[in-house]
Homo-oligomer: A and B are copies of this chain.
Amino acid sequence: MRILLVGAGGVGDAIAKIAARRAFYETIVVSDYDPARAERTVAWIRERHGEEVAARFRTAAIDASDPDVVAAVAREHGATHVMNAVEPSFVPTVFAGALAAGADYLDMAMSLSEPHPTDPYAQTGVKLGDDQFAQRGDWEAAGRLALVGMGVEPGLSDVFARYAADHLFSSIDELGTRDGANLVVRDEAGNEIFAPSFSIWTTIEECLNPPVIFEKGTGWRTTEPFSEPEVFDFPEGIGPVECVNVEHEEVLLMPRWLDARRVTFKYGLGAEFIGVLKTLHLLGLDSTTPLRVRSKNGPVEVAPRDVVAAALPDPATIGPRMTGKTCAGVNVTGLGTDGRPREVYLYHVSDNEWTMREYDAQCVVWQTALNPVIALELLATAAWTGTGVLGPEAFDAQPFLDLMARPEAEGGYGQAWGMREAARA
C-alpha cells in the first residue's frame, strides 16, 4: 500500500504521526499546498521515531483544487490509496483525481450540501455526499473503492452503528450520533477564554446549515438550525452537555446500509456556544459575502465570517493551553436481541493531555485522524474489501473495533472504546 495523504493541516499531520507507529504500508507521501507543512510533519516523525521510520515518508506539493494535479501526484508516487485530509470544499477535486489515477480513496467529510431553494428548513436540496454517490457507477466500473466519511464522526460513529445493528439489537428505533466535550482553553494568565477547538469557519457552516434528519417512510428532511435541544450525559467525567441537531454525514450514510426508524446527529455545542452562533447569525456576521468596511487605507471588502475567524485564537495553536476530553459516539435505542427495549451508548473518548503528550496533536483533531489509519490498515490486510462508493457501515465493524482496542504491545491501537447500557425496564 502506497498512500498519498492530501493535506498536512491538523488532521493530516496527526494521520501521518499515528501511521508512523504502524507497519502496514510501504510509503506515505505527505502532500500540501504549502510543502513546508508536509516537511514539518515528517521532521516530527524523524525526531520522534528515527530515520528508519521517517524513510517510509515522502513529501510533495499539491493543489487539491485541481483534479489533474491530484492525479499527477498520485501517479508520480504510484499511490494505491489517496487519503483526503483537506477542507470539505476540495472533496470533488480530490475524489476525481484519485479515480483518474486508478487509486482507492478515503475521506473524513463528504461533498457539501446546498439548501433547498425555497423551503430550506423543511426539505433537503443537494445533500452531503450526493455528488459522490452520484458517481458510484464510475467507481464500481473501475473496480475501485471510495470509502467516504471515515473520520471519527462520520467514521467511527458509523462503525459503532453497524456493530449495534449486527450484535446488540434485533430492531433499531434511533441511531443518534452524540458528540460532546468538556474542553477548556486558558490564556497565559490561566483565565478561561473563548477558543473553539475546531475551525470556527467550518463550525458556522455546519451549525447554520439546515440540520438533516432521516425518518423511515418520510426519508430525509431538514429543520431549523439548533432544533430539538436535549441535554445528553456524556461518560468519563464529561457530564451533561446541551446538544442540538446539526447537519452531519452520519444521517446521510447510516440509512443507506442500516435499518433504523430514525437517524439523527446532535452536537454538544453547549448553551454558550449555541448562543454565540445564534448571535453571529442574528448580526449577519456568519456571512461569507464581502462587505464594504472602512479602514485606515480606505474602504476594503471583507467577509464577516473571515473577520470572526481572524478575531479568535487559531485552533491549531490552542492544544497546549487546552484541558479536557472529547467524546464521540452513537446512542442506539430499539429492541435488543432478546426482543426487549434496550438503549446503548457506544463511544470513544480522547483526552487532550494524552494526545498532546504522545502526538503533539490536539484531541479533537487526533481523534478524527485515528480512524482512517485503522481503516487503511484493515484495507491493507484485506480484512475490509469493497468497490464503489461505500460508507464505514458497509463493512464489518468487529475487526475495526478489535484492532482499535487491542493493546499496542499486541499489535493493536490501544484505544479502548466504551459501551454504556441504560437501565432496562
- The answer to whether B302 and A307 have CB atoms under 8 Å apart is yes
Which one of B279, B282, B295 contacts A300 once the chains associate, using CB atoms below 8 Å? B295
Whether A284 sits at the interface, judged by CB under 8 Å, is yes
Q: Which residues of B contact A141 (CB under 8 A)?
A: none
Cα–Cα distance between A49 and B280 once the two chains are bound (Å): 45
* Whole-angstrom distance between the Cβ of A23 and the nearest chain B Cβ: 41
| Interface residue stretch chosen among A233-241, A286-294, A410-418 | A286-294
Cα–Cα distance between A312 and B304 once the two chains are bound (Å): 11
Q: Which residues of B contact A383 (CB under 8 A)?
A: none
Q: Which residues of B contact A189 (CB under 8 A)?
A: none
Q: Can you offer 21 A-B residue contacts whose CB atoms are under 8 A?
A: A275-B275, A275-B279, A276-B279, A276-B283, A279-B279, A283-B308, A284-B311, A285-B308, A285-B311, A287-B311, A291-B310, A292-B310, A293-B307, A293-B310, A295-B300, A295-B306, A296-B301, A297-B300, A300-B302, A302-B302, A304-B307
Complex interface residues of chain A between 292 and 324 (CB less than 8 A to chain B) = 292-297, 300-304, 306-308, 310-312
Q: Which residues of B contact A304 (CB under 8 A)?
A: 307, 311
Which one of B282, B284, B312 contacts A283 once the chains associate, using CB atoms below 8 Å? B312
Q: Which residues of B contact A292 (CB under 8 A)?
A: 310
Q: Which residues of B contact A300 (CB under 8 A)?
A: 295, 297, 300-302
Cα–Cα distance between A92 and B7 once the two chains are bound (Å): 55
**What class of interface size applies to chain A in its complex with B?**
20 to 34
Which one of B276, B282, B295, B312 contacts A302 once the chains associate, using CB atoms below 8 Å? B295
Cα–Cα distance between A9 and B310 once the two chains are bound (Å): 32
Q: Which residues of B contact A280 (CB under 8 A)?
A: 279
A275-B279, A279-B276, A304-B307 are known contacts. Are A312 and B296 too (CB-CB below 8 A)? no
Q: Which residues of B contact A198 (CB under 8 A)?
A: none
Cα–Cα distance between A283 and B307 once the two chains are bound (Å): 11
Closest to A283 in B: B311
Q: Which residues of B contact A310 (CB under 8 A)?
A: 291-294
Complex interface residues of chain A between 313 and 364 (CB less than 8 A to chain B) = none
Cα–Cα distance between A114 and B308 once the two chains are bound (Å): 27
Whether A257 sits at the interface, judged by CB under 8 Å, is no
Q: Which residues of B contact A276 (CB under 8 A)?
A: 279, 282-283
- The answer to whether A306 and B294 have CB atoms under 8 Å apart is yes
* Whole-angstrom distance between the Cβ of A169 and the nearest chain B Cβ: 42
Known: A275-B279, A291-B310, A295-B306. 7 other contacts (CB 8 A): A276-B283, A294-B302, A294-B310, A295-B301, A297-B301, A304-B307, A307-B307
Cα–Cα distance between A283 and B282 once the two chains are bound (Å): 15
Closest to A291 in B: B310
Cα–Cα distance between A285 and B310 once the two chains are bound (Å): 10
Cα–Cα distance between A401 and B192 once the two chains are bound (Å): 51
Cα–Cα distance between A198 and B292 once the two chains are bound (Å): 20
* Whole-angstrom distance between the Cβ of A101 and the nearest chain B Cβ: 31
Q: Which residues of B contact A290 (CB under 8 A)?
A: 295-296
Cα–Cα distance between A373 and B283 once the two chains are bound (Å): 35
Closest to A277 in B: B279
Cα–Cα distance between A275 and B279 once the two chains are bound (Å): 8
* Whole-angstrom distance between the Cβ of A118 and the nearest chain B Cβ: 14
* Whole-angstrom distance between the Cβ of A317 and the nearest chain B Cβ: 15
* Whole-angstrom distance between the Cβ of A369 and the nearest chain B Cβ: 26
